[in-house]
């Protein structure tokens, strides 16, 4: 008993317990991360897709992102970004960038769908990451009401409650979501492009993402039944329109009255 008591009071006991706690915590985190990545990495590609994607990458992307996508001073590493990030950035024309700026601008895609898939296949082999979403999550048959709640809670502060987009800091902006495919909306949520945060399955479940896409496509299809939406920017644009139009009518009426009396 005396020997055990002395071991408990050993000066290195606290350090040993601290190291043990760090090891256990790190191990649990690593296991949890691996499980989440394995769930996301469900898309499989053929060997020919990977090979052709590697050639396309070397010819068009390695200048900035480095050989093997390890990154350089001109572009970040792509190891671990997953196929979804490539499909979003290349499929929307944001990559390759046309010029340096506050954020990559959307433009006509430089690569066709097959080439985009091949680039995604190559980058997917470099490390685990989010995959291109399955068709079942993009059928626009989710719960629109729940999707609206999730969108207003997580997305509306940047993209506007009507998904019309909005300005951010230092020349950056959250784009409008009208006309954006469900695939790219889902991929943006799981990869977090530009200033957008990453919404993992722990934040918003795949079913929740499906609901959001359903909501966005529904409001896009409904249009503006009440008349001109004035950019869907809310009371600011509406109030400005009323002020300018009302003031214009008053000025015109005043001019008409004075001309009549003279």
Mark which of 75, 97, 129 sits at the end of a domain. 129
Determine if residue 92 is labeled as part of a ligand binding site.
Answer: no
Determine if residue 184 is labeled as part of a ligand binding site.
Answer: no
Indicate the number of domains in the chain.
2
121, 144: one domain? no
153, 216: one domain? yes
What pLDDT score does 8 carry? 54
What pLDDT score does 40 carry? 35
137, 68: one domain? no
Determine if residue 155 is labeled as part of a ligand binding site.
Answer: yes
CATH number of the structural domain spanning residue 150: 1.10.760.10
124, 47: one domain? yes
Q: Which residues of the chain have pLDDT under 50?
A: 1, 4, 34-43
Q: What is the pLDDT of residues 16-41, one digit of tens each?
A: 667 777 777 766 665 555 444 444 34
142, 220: one domain? yes
Mark which of 84, 111, 129 sits at the end of a domain. 129
153, 75: one domain? no
138, 205: one domain? yes
87, 161: one domain? no
Within a domain: 11 = no
Q: DSSP string covering the chain, please? A: -HHHHHHHT-TTHHHHHHHHHHHHHHHHHHHHHHHHHHHH------HHHHHHHHHHHHHHTHHHH-GGG--BTTB---TT-HHHHHHHHHHTT-SS-SS-SSSPPP---SS-HHHHHHHHHHHHTTS--PPPPPGGGSSS-S-HHHHHHHHHHHTHHHH-TTS--EE-STT-EEPP-TT--HHHHHHHHHH--TTPPP--TTTS-HHHHHHHHHHHHHHHHH--TTS--GGG-THHHHHHHHHHHHHHHHHHHHHHHHHHH-
Determine if residue 33 is labeled as part of a ligand binding site.
Answer: no
pTM of the model: 0.73
67, 159: one domain? no
Q: What is the pLDDT of residues 210-235, one digit of tens each?
A: 999 999 999 998 876 666 666 666 66
Determine if residue 65 is labeled as part of a ligand binding site.
Answer: yes
What pLDDT score does 35 carry? 45
Determine if residue 61 is labeled as part of a ligand binding site.
Answer: yes
Mark which of 113, 129, 145 sits at the end of a domain. 129
Domain that holds residue 123: 43-129
137, 238: one domain? yes
What pLDDT score does 36 carry? 45
């Amino acid at each position: 008993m005396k020997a055990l008591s002395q071991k408990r009071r050993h000066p290195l006991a606290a350090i040993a317990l601290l190291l043990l706690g760090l090891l256990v915590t790190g191990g649990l985190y690593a296991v949890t991360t691996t499980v989440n990545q394995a769930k996301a990495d469900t898309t499989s590609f053929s060997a020919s897709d990977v090979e052709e994607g590697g050639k396309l990458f070397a010819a068009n992307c390695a200048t900035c992102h480095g050989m093997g996508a390890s990154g350089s001073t001109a572009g970040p590493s792509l190891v671990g970004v997953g196929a979804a990030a490539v499909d979003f950035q290349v499929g929307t024309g944001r990559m390759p960038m046309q010029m340096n700026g506050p954020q990559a601008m959307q433009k006509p895609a430089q690569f066709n769908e097959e080439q985009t898939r091949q680039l995604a296949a190559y980058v997917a082999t470099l490390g685990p990451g989010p995959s291109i979403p399955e068709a079942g999550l993009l059928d626009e048959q989710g719960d629109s009401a729940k999707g609206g709640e999730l969108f207003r809670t997580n997305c509306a502060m940047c993209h506007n409650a009507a998904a019309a987009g909005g300005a951010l800091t230092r020349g950056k902006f959250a784009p409008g979501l009208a006309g954006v495919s469900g695939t790219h909306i889902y991929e943006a949520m799981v990869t977090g492009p530009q200033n957008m945060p990453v919404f993992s399955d722990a934040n918003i479940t795949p079913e929740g993402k499906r609901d959001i896409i359903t909501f966005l496509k529904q409001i896009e299809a409904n249009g503006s039944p009440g008349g001109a939406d004035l950019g869907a920017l809310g009371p600011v644009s509406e109030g400005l329109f009323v002020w300018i139009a009302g003031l214009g009518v008053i000025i015109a009426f005043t001019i008409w009255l004075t001309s009549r009396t003279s």
